[in-house]
Amino acid sequence: MESNKNNKIGAAVVLGGGIAGMQASLDLASSGIKVYLVETKPSIGGVMAQLDKTFPTNDCAMCTMAPRLVEISRHKNIDLISLAEVESVKGEAGNFTVTVKKRPRYVNEDKCTGCGSCLAVCPVGKAKAAADGKENKIKPIPDEYNEGLSTRPAVSIPFPQAIPNKAFIDSRYCLYLNSGKCGNCKKACKADAIDFEQKEKIFELNAGAIIATPGYELFDIGSKPEYGQGKFENVVTAIKFERILSASGPYQGKVLRPSDKKVPKNIGFIQCVGSRDHERDYCSAVCCMYATKEALIAKEHLGDQLEIDILYMDIRAYGKGFEEYYQRAQKLGVNYIRSRVPSIEEDPKTKNLIINYLSDNDKKVSKEYDMIVLSTGLLAPKSAKQISGTLGISLNEYNFCNTGSFSPVNSSRDGIFVAGPFTEPKDVPETVTQASGAAAKALSLLSDVRGTLVKEKEYPPEKDITGQDARIGVFICHCGKNIGGVANVPEIVKYASTLPSVVHAEDNLYMCSSDAIDKIKQKIEEHHLNRVVVASCTPRTHEPLFKNTIREAGLNEYLFEMANIREHCTWAHMHEPEAATKKAMGLVQMAVAKSRLLEPLYRQFVPINQDCLVIGGGIAGMVAAMEVANQGFLVHLVEKEEKLGGGARKLHYLLGNDKPQEYLNDLIKSVSSHEKIMVHTGANIESFSGSIGKFKTIINSAGTKQEFEHGATIVATGAIEHKPSEYMYGKNKKVMTQLEFEEKLSTDAQLKPPECVVMIQCVESRNDERPYCSRICCGTAVKNALKIKEKFPDTGVYVLYRDMRTFGFMESYYTKARQKGIVFAIYNNEKKPELIESNNGNLTVKYFDSTLQENIEIDSDYVVLSTPVTPRPENKELASMLKVPLDQNKFFLEAHIKLKPVDFATDGIFLCGIAHYPKSIKDSIAQAGAVAARAGAILSKKFIETEGAISVVNEAKCIGCGTCVTVCPYNAPALEEVTVTVEEVTYKTKKSKINPAACKGCGSCAAACPAGAITASHFSSKEIREVIDAFDRGVRSVSIEKGVVEVTV
């Protein structure tokens, strides 16, 4: 392999810019791999960008996602190639040649500032008459982002937060491109970005690895005549309803039905549209939860007068927090009705919808709704076949990408990794996890060429401004017409130049355009500016650009201040130009006031220990260790038992043909023989301290203590199977848990064919004590039931359940089980099954069948209890040692349930496997890969670059009370013992010390400190006060008459 090493290329191509592609790109780029992110659409973001909120926390989807969109656009190691597709892939793992075809945008991406002036003048698709007065005959263009509920012009920006935030001309509709007439946009574009001459480009990229994340398609209801084929106006798909709910949607977040724009009184959700049928024998895995979410949000909007029914077959609330979310929805009045609705009829007059369904107790019910939402399932992307052909990777029967139980991110071709719903329908956190897992695989593959293609930026030496008076430059942006069309920008410039310490003020059409950037640098030189204020749009997207600009001009980046006069001013006061102008002046005045006090701040470089600690030697821990070690880092793997393997040692078979013991033994062998993995078995963590880059751990292995440092920590401590107290467990030998039954079925050679076996699901789970769903038990029951039928075809098997939660491709095994004659029967949680033991010890399970309205008795040779996976009792101790939180069920709690599923809020500590939540081996492996990528991103750097603007403690004022330690969400402050000498008295006391590597500069501690000992740099009390004073002073007497402004300051 030595010869190959030299040919490896330290770059990766990521196909698809949804949340999976974004995550993989960021993970790779931050570990020193050059990334080409190829997206077929004009913007990245994928489906998540269309979502209003996300379950189960009802977080705003765009708010959690936008920072990542921005991060991608700014990342120096990510080249975003939009409107592009991969034509062919040649070569092999480590060295691929990828041919990419980029379609023309007809807009010069370098020049376009995304101001939107062109959108306003495009005549296409507008109802109003064109310039010549004739009626516009071209049909409106349905806006894809709003799922056709609104229209858009031929030139558009897909959505406000689009990345790249550049206009795009749709050649199918553009008048100029089709007939040579119009060109309004070209005239309107002040940045001269419109380029009708653009041609398709074909070029080659060299990359060592490819990650395919093309996402999914939603089921098209056009093929469902029974649901109206999309012809009933008030029958909408869930994604359409998502847009209806969204504040950025077609009805500005008002819940209205499309036919008459009236508020619906009742809404019915129909589940499993296009999933779990004979053509698609899989469950789309997310629809139960998104329907619940949409129901909750709609109710939030409309309150109790809105009635919502969700018509479902099984509510599959299997993920972390899902079951609790489902319970909450029920409490808030969302009705869940178990039924499958065969068809919808429309009342042609009222446009109401009528459905018939069969109730739980077998009665036909007819109901009328104002609106119906179809929870459409997930399909493989339309491009799946083409992608499979170009990439040479295999698909399954539903055109999703094939992956293995033990290789969740590997495609069938070496060096090509996959993630997201392309592999199986899944929700955001699992997608993000898998994407990180795929990134880890690429990082392992390319570990020795890491950092070879990335750019490190060089800056000129920084100017020393000590002792200088403030010389402030103010730069005010018109943002096309966004600001300039409302506020009087030249007058703001005049006003700014009158402010104290301002030595230069000027305006520009687009302050972010490259010529304007050059001008800022030039003015810094020319006027010896030592503070810069830009008044334009939001700092969220643009502050890093301007900070970088002044750095390039030799100024410390913290000598910069920004005033948002677009979102905070001209957009909000679009129809009050005078007030907007005044407010903008005020905002500039405040920014200038603060900038006068700005001090240079410096980022610190904290050296990183490049070793990693993995706690837990089960599958998750071992895979994480392997993946980290394969990236070239030393791993300490600590297992408290004498043997590696963890809970998986008890698994004898899986759904399908994979053999877990073979896999486990191979894994143990590779881990034990890996030169970069130090295995410590029979070892406990005795103490743990430090922070990201520099943790210190002492382990105790049978009395022998060992201490080591490490830069990252991975928690993979697993969980246990709950032993119940119900159903005579422990009293009658014929009652056992699923794991015990699996053991018996696999190892008991004397086992006689049983007449009948009954399995009871959700035993001591989904109750008040354990409100969560244990996720794996339904699949386990199906697995063991199938195994019984395989061994003893004549044995009767009954599975009593509440909801069968065989999500994703597990559904096909559930189908297979039913085909084999395994009986699945629903029991009601209010009337739990009973177990009756006769005198001779024989067991009869009795339950009430609501469909048949009958008490059913089943004589059973074995009663198998599906008990939940429960967290380890020792989690509490470990959590407090590591200073990481547990959730209400005592599993470890991740930083963000959607977008940071494997990170803890504390930097440098990660989480994987069932210590996080119950999950399958496949999911654990994906997660283990993900933590390896996240850890790798830290370990691959020599230093951590801290924030410059962090909190600092004035030790003299600190009273050592520890308030800061309590309030900090990042574990940055700690009390340290110091020796203090005051007036010749020397004593020992505790003082707060803030770890710069952990501090994010949020200022919580500064606000909370009772002694006023902590300063949040860049936001010091003095600076804030100065800003408030400036606000207080106000913009005195502004009068705009005939363009002349008189200002009195």
Partner 1 sequence: MKVDPKLLSDVRKYGEFDVTGCFNCGSCTVKCNLSKDSSTFPRQSMRHVVMGLKDQLNSSLEPWLCYYCGDCSKTCPRQTEPGEAMMTLRRYLTSKYDWTGLASKFYQSAAWEIGAIFIVAAFVLALGVMFTGPMVTDRVELNTFAPVEKVHLFDMGMFVVLSFFIISNAFNMFHLTMYKDKSVKIPISLYITQLKELMVQFATQKKFRECTTSSRWIKHWLIVAGYVTMFILVVVFLGWFQTDNIYPIYHPQRWLGYFATIVLVVFTAEIIYGRIIKRDQIHRFSHLSDWLFPILLLLTAVTGIAVHAFRYMELPLPTYYTYAIHMAIAVPMLVVEVPFGKWSHLLYRPLAVYFQSIKDKAILLQKGG
Give residues with Cβ within 8 angstroms of 599, minimum separation 6. 558, 1017
Q: How far is the CB of 866 from partner 1 (least distance, A)?
A: 18
- Does 850 sit near partner 1 (CB under 8 A)? no
- Does 825 sit near partner 1 (CB under 8 A)? yes
- Does 1029 sit near partner 1 (CB under 8 A)? no
* H-helix segments, 748-828: 777-791, 811-819
Q: Cβ distance 735 to 727 under 8 Å?
A: yes
User: What span, in angstroms and rounded, lies between the C-alpha atoms of 645 and 657?
Assistant: 20
Residues 379-408 that bind partner 1 (CB under 8 A): none
Residue type, 270: I
Interface residue with partner 1 among 87, 204, 362, 464 (CB under 8 A) is: 362
Q: Which is nearer to partner 1, 513 or 795 (CB)?
A: 795
Q: Which is nearer to partner 1, 574 or 751 (CB)?
A: 751
- Does 340 sit near partner 1 (CB under 8 A)? yes
Per-residue x/- mask for partner 1, residues 173 to 212, rule CB under 8 A? ----------------------------------------
Alpha-carbon torsion 953, 957, 958, 964, what sign? negative
Q: How far is the CB of 374 from partner 1 (least distance, A)?
A: 14
Q: How far is the CB of 663 from partner 1 (least distance, A)?
A: 30
DSSP bridge pairs for 683: 701
Q: Cβ distance 559 to 597 under 8 Å?
A: no
Q: How far is the CB of 312 from partner 1 (least distance, A)?
A: 10
Q: Which is nearer to partner 1, 204 or 834 (CB)?
A: 834
How many residues line the site for partner 1 (CB under 8 A)? 43
Interface residue with partner 1 among 824, 891, 904, 917 (CB under 8 A) is: 824
Give residues with Cβ within 8 angstroms of 752, minimum separation 6. none
Q: Cβ distance 565 to 588 under 8 Å?
A: yes
Q: How far is the CB of 366 from partner 1 (least distance, A)?
A: 10
- Does 469 sit near partner 1 (CB under 8 A)? no
Q: How far is the CB of 607 from partner 1 (least distance, A)?
A: 59
Half-sphere exposure of 470 (CA within 13 A, CB side): 21
Q: Which is nearer to partner 1, 386 or 855 (CB)?
A: 855
Interface residue with partner 1 among 92, 260, 518, 854 (CB under 8 A) is: 854
Q: Which stretch binds partner 1 (CB under 8 A): 236-244, 252-260, 567-575, 844-852?
A: 844-852
Q: Which stretch binds partner 1 (CB under 8 A): 503-511, 856-864, 888-896, 903-911?
A: 856-864
- Does 276 sit near partner 1 (CB under 8 A)? yes
- Does 686 sit near partner 1 (CB under 8 A)? no
Of residues 808, 733, 742, the one with CA closest to residue 780:
742
Q: Which is nearer to partner 1, 277 or 414 (CB)?
A: 277
Interface residue with partner 1 among 134, 137, 363, 1036 (CB under 8 A) is: 363
- Does 823 sit near partner 1 (CB under 8 A)? yes
Q: Cβ distance 393 to 883 under 8 Å?
A: no
- Does 345 sit near partner 1 (CB under 8 A)? no
Per-residue x/- mask for partner 1, residues 770 to 809, rule CB under 8 A? ------------------------xxx-x-----x-----
Q: Which is nearer to partner 1, 792 or 1031 (CB)?
A: 792
Task: Say whether the peptide bond before residue 160 is cis (omega within 30 degrees of 0).
Answer: no
369: left (phi over 0), alpha (psi -120 to 50) or beta: beta
3-state secondary structure 467-503: CCCCCEEEEEECCCCCCCCCCCHHHHHHHHHCCCCEE
Interface residue with partner 1 among 59, 79, 144, 281 (CB under 8 A) is: 281
Interface residue with partner 1 among 356, 681, 700, 989 (CB under 8 A) is: 356
Interface residue with partner 1 among 226, 707, 834, 976 (CB under 8 A) is: 226
Q: How far is the CB of 375 from partner 1 (least distance, A)?
A: 14
- Does 815 sit near partner 1 (CB under 8 A)? yes
- Does 368 sit near partner 1 (CB under 8 A)? no
Distances (CA, A) of 759 to 778, 790, 809, 819, 858: 10, 17, 22, 17, 11
Residue 206: CB atoms within 10 A of its CB come to 16
Q: How far is the CB of 316 from partner 1 (least distance, A)?
A: 13
- Does 354 sit near partner 1 (CB under 8 A)? no
Interface residue with partner 1 among 819, 829, 838, 1048 (CB under 8 A) is: 819
User: What span, in angstroms and rounded, lies between the C-alpha atoms of 421 and 20?
Assistant: 9
- Does 277 sit near partner 1 (CB under 8 A)? yes
- Does 759 sit near partner 1 (CB under 8 A)? no
Q: Which is nearer to partner 1, 291 or 479 (CB)?
A: 291
Can you read off the two tokens belonging to residue 132?
């010549």
Q: Which stretch binds partner 1 (CB under 8 A): 194-202, 356-364, 589-597, 775-783?
A: 356-364
In 3-state terms the chain splits into helix, strand, coil percentages (rounded to 5) of 30, 25, 45
Residue type, 881: M
Interface residue with partner 1 among 190, 649, 652, 818 (CB under 8 A) is: 818
- Does 223 sit near partner 1 (CB under 8 A)? no
DSSP bridge pairs for 679: 637
Residue 452: CB atoms within 10 A of its CB come to 15
Of residues 789, 777, 841, 843, the one with CA closest to residue 817:
789
In three-state secondary structure terms, 442 is helix
Q: DSSP E strands: which ranges in 509-624?
A: 531-536, 560-564, 605-607, 612-615
Q: Which is nearer to partner 1, 274 or 321 (CB)?
A: 274
Distances (CA, A) of 893 to 722, 900, 922: 20, 11, 20
Intra-chain end-to-end CA distance of the chain, in Å:
74
In three-state secondary structure terms, 602 is coil
Can you read off the two tokens belonging to residue 663?
């896999």
Q: How far is the CB of 568 from partner 1 (least distance, A)?
A: 52
Residues 57-116 that bind partner 1 (CB under 8 A): none
Q: How far is the CB of 311 from partner 1 (least distance, A)?
A: 10
Per-residue x/- mask for partner 1, residues 254 to 273, rule CB under 8 A? ------------------x-
Ramachandran angles phi, psi of 243, nearest 5°:
-65, -40
Interface residue with partner 1 among 518, 526, 707, 857 (CB under 8 A) is: 857
CA 222 to chain centre: 30
Distances (CA, A) of 727 to 761, 848, 850, 862, 864: 12, 16, 21, 12, 10
Q: Which stretch binds partner 1 (CB under 8 A): 375-383, 846-854, 870-878, 963-971?
A: 846-854
Q: Which is nearer to partner 1, 533 or 804 (CB)?
A: 804
C-alpha angle 541-545-550 in degrees, rounded to nearest 5: 145
- Does 827 sit near partner 1 (CB under 8 A)? no
User: What span, in angstroms and rounded, lies between the C-alpha atoms of 396 and 602?
Assistant: 53
Residue 504: CB atoms within 10 A of its CB come to 19
- Does 851 sit near partner 1 (CB under 8 A)? yes
Half-sphere exposure of 886 (CA within 13 A, CB side): 18
Interface residue with partner 1 among 31, 82, 237, 339 (CB under 8 A) is: 339
Q: How far is the CB of 272 from partner 1 (least distance, A)?
A: 8
Q: Which is nearer to partner 1, 189 or 311 (CB)?
A: 311
- Contacts of the segment 322-326: beta carbons below 8 A, 24+ positions apart: 322/55, 322/56, 322/289, 322/773, 323/766, 323/771, 323/772, 323/773, 324/56, 324/771, 324/772, 325/55, 325/56, 325/289, 325/292, 325/293, 326/288, 326/289, 326/292
3-state secondary structure 413-427: CCCEEECHHHCCCCC
Interface residues with partner 1 (CB under 8 A)? 226, 272, 276-278, 281, 313, 339-343, 356-358, 362-364, 755-756, 794-796, 798, 804, 814-815, 818-819, 821, 823-826, 849, 851-852, 854-859
